Each structure stands twice: as C-alpha cells, then as structure tokens.
Amino acid sequence: MNSLTKLIDERAAISKLKAGKAAAEASTHSGSVTYQARAETALTDYAHYVSLQAMISQQQNSMYHENSSRSFFSDLVASHRSDRAASERLSEQRAMSDLGGLVVPRYLVEELANSGHSARPLCDVLTQPLGNEGGSVTLTRISTGSTASMQTTEGAALTVDDPASTELVAPVRTVYSMASLDFQIVERADKVGLDNLISREILGAVLAQQEAQVLNGSGSNGEVLGLLGTSGAGSITLTATTAYDLLDSVARAAQASHEATGQHPDVVVMAPRRWMWLLANAGDRSAALSVDQTNSPIAGRCMGLDVVSSPSMPLTLSTNQDRVIVARRDDLFLGETPPMVEIVRDFPVGAQALASRVRVRRYMAFGAIRASGVQIISGAALANPYA
C-alpha cells in the first residue's frame, strides 16, 4: 500500500469515528442547530474520503494495474497505429472515467518515488476531486461572523447580528507536460519499465508543477494564485538565526492564525533545507519536534503542527531566502481531476517520424478560503543556512 492510499484510509477511519460521534451528539441534542451543523460537516468529510477510496479501488481494478503484464503506454502508442486489441483495452479504461478523456491508471500516478522530478507532499495532503464541469470553483467564506449576546432581562428584545460572507472564485487551470517517444523505446523497452519511465517523467513533471503552483503561483498567465501571493495572509518577520527563534516564530504564526480564524492551524510548510537544519540545531528544544518514519507526505511534527517538507518551496526569494507557512488545511482548497493522457495526432512527419508525442494534462483549482488563517514567516534569517 502506497503512502497516499494509506493516508486516505487513515483519514477515512478517523472521519468515520468523528461522524459517528457527531451524529450521536446531534441525536441527543435534537433541537440544536450547532450540533446538527457539526454532524453534517463530519458526514461530509467522511463521504469525501469514502469517495476517494472508491476512486482508488476503481483504478486498482482496471485493465491496467501494477501486477499486469500489459503496458498502458505501449497500448496508447499501438492504438494510434491502429492496433485493435490495444484500442479495445484503452476503451475499457476510458469508460471508467466520466471526464471524457483517457485517465492514467492510478498505480502509475502513485509510483513516482524515483522520479527525476520533485515530490508534491503539500498537494497530497490537500487534494480533493474537482468537478467535471465549470471554468471556476466558487468558495463561500464567512468574513464577519455573527455574535452571541446575553438577554438583558426576561422578555427583552433580542439583537439580530447576521454574519457576512464573501465568495472566493478559484479559476480552473490546466497543467500539462508533453514529450516525444522514439518508437524504438516504445517497441523494445520492458513493458513495466516503459510505463514507469513515462509516468515518472511526463506525469512527474505535471505533479511537480502543481506543487510549485500551490506554493508560489502568480495568479496570472494561466497560473493559480499560490499561498505566497495570497492577499490578506498574515506576515511575520524572522531576523534572528537560531533554531529557538524559528520555533518561536512558528508558535507566533500559529497563534496569529488561531486568533484570526478561531480555529487552530494544523500544518506548517517549509523547505527541506529548513526542516533538516531545524532538526539538527534544535538542541534542548528538540522536544518540540518529531520525525515521521512512515514515508507519508507528513515529514514530522513541529510545535504540534504537521510538517510538510516541500521541495517546491522557493529558495531564491530576496536573493537566497525561503519561507515558512503556517495554515489550517480546511482553509485551503485544492481540487484536481485525474491526469489524462493522449497521443498528439498532429505530430509533424519527416526527420522525427519514428516517434510519438505523448501529452499528459489535468485540471486544477486552488485558493485560500480564509486568507487570514495563512501566516507567512519571512526575513533575512531564512537565507540558506548551509551557504
């Protein structure tokens, strides 16, 4: 079982327990709107993870799987050259998707540990399915919450204070990778090796680009707006270069996030060099840190927050600085479709005729639902610690 599947199974089990507890409390307090809302939220979370489990199960039972001798990408190229058997197998694979495209088998998406591209741990802890229609996703957020008051005397009039909401529109963007494959590689390579090669390189490039977008997308020229460019995010400046001061800044960022939203943040995102340096230099503060050995997207814990050590965190901000981000996962929305693949049919002939061009694409939308809960630590102290 790969780390992402294990994480989803664990989250499904936890959300099931929470949903059961919330439903029981709602039944006990049948007239309470608050308990009813909690139950509905918990059930929605559980349904989300069940949906992810079903999608993974469907992909694992497809025509192409990790124990099959069939090569997905060999069939893709062969179908382009009128191989009927390959076309029929791909038709069955295509029928498993409601996106209208040929979806890359799930096991190939997951087996990217040896890719020449960066991993995407932050995307892995945020991802949820993106709808099949629409050019944007509208997320409603409460900008000013309603207040509660004490009734001054029996029979006194009550004060109405309605909450105010705003909408965050996250445009759906296309991320893609395209590469040429020489026929000799396709026809003579080991079938399993061919699938691994193509998925790790072409698909791996797509996944790495998504991680970079979620962190530092510009919001223009077809890019999503990443966390570092989110308007309304909090800012904390770190000037001292000790591990103690970095831990203090994480604590201050967590406090600021909690104060701004009323909810405790649960994740801190940093560059691998920052996480390794912090582990090595924590000294008598090491009790605030722990390392996760399960090979999951979570690298460990820092000040009670899950640590995401993302290789896509920029390292050249303000010349040689990185950033540390504290946030709450439920305040961040990342929707994505399964990756789809196709042979480009207008590939030029001539000197490159003995090749096929493969294109992988997927759609994604990203946004911070409550920007004030995102706290960004910056400053000269985040320069390269190993320079």
Give the Å distances, CA to CA, from 142 to 36, 113, 148, 198, 363. Answer: 19, 39, 16, 44, 27
Residues facing residue 317 across a β-bridge:
321
Distance CA 103, CA 337 (A): 9
Domain 68-139+167-387 has CATH 3.90.550: no
Which has more confidence, 86 or 229? 229
pLDDT score at 274: 97
Mean per-residue pLDDT for 210-231? Answer: 96
Look-up of token digits 């124990």: 67
Q: Is the pLDDT of residue 233 over 90?
A: yes
Question: Could you tell me if 306 and 298 are in contact, meaning their C-beta atoms sit under 8 angstroms apart?
Answer: yes
3-state secondary structure 192-246: HHHHHHHHHHHHHHHHHHHHHHHHHCECCCCCCECHHHCCCCEEEECCCCCHHHH
Distance CA 126, CA 329 (A): 7
Q: Could you tell me the residue ranges of all domains in the chain? A: 1-61, 68-139+167-387
Question: Could you tell me if 141 and 369 are in contact, meaning their C-beta atoms sit under 8 angstroms apart?
Answer: yes
Which has more confidence, 91 or 223? 223
Share of the chain above pLDDT 90, in %: 39
Q: Is the pLDDT of residue 164 over 80?
A: no
Dihedral sign (CA 42, 362, 214, 9): positive
Q: How many CB atoms lie within 10 A of CB 43?
A: 18
The region of weakest confidence among 138-147, 164-173, 228-237, 271-280 is 138-147
What type of residue sits at position 153? Answer: T
Give the SS3 label for residue 383: strand
Lookup: tokens for 234: 């909090």
pLDDT band at 16 (very low <50, low <70, confident <90, very high): confident
Q: Is the pLDDT of residue 151 over 70?
A: yes
pLDDT score at 190: 61
Residues facing residue 176 across a β-bridge:
361
Angle at 49 (CA atoms; ends 15, 18), nearest 5 degrees: 10
pLDDT score at 113: 47
Which has more confidence, 182 or 386? 386
Which has more confidence, 225 or 114? 225
Give the SS3 label for residue 259: helix
pLDDT score at 152: 80
Mean per-residue pLDDT for 147-156? Answer: 78
**pLDDT tens for residues 33-50?**
788 888 888 888 888 888
pTM reported for the whole predicted model = 0.72
Torsion angle of C-alpha atoms 181, 183, 188, 189, degrees rounded to 10: 10
| Cβ contacts of 350 within 8 Å, gap of 6 or more | none
In the chain, which residue ranges form alpha helices assigned H by DSSP?
A: 3-28, 33-60, 72-80, 84-95, 106-110, 121-126, 183-188, 191-198, 204-216, 243-261, 272-281
**pLDDT tens for residues 69-97?**
677 777 777 776 677 887 777 777 777 66
pLDDT score at 40: 84
pLDDT score at 59: 53
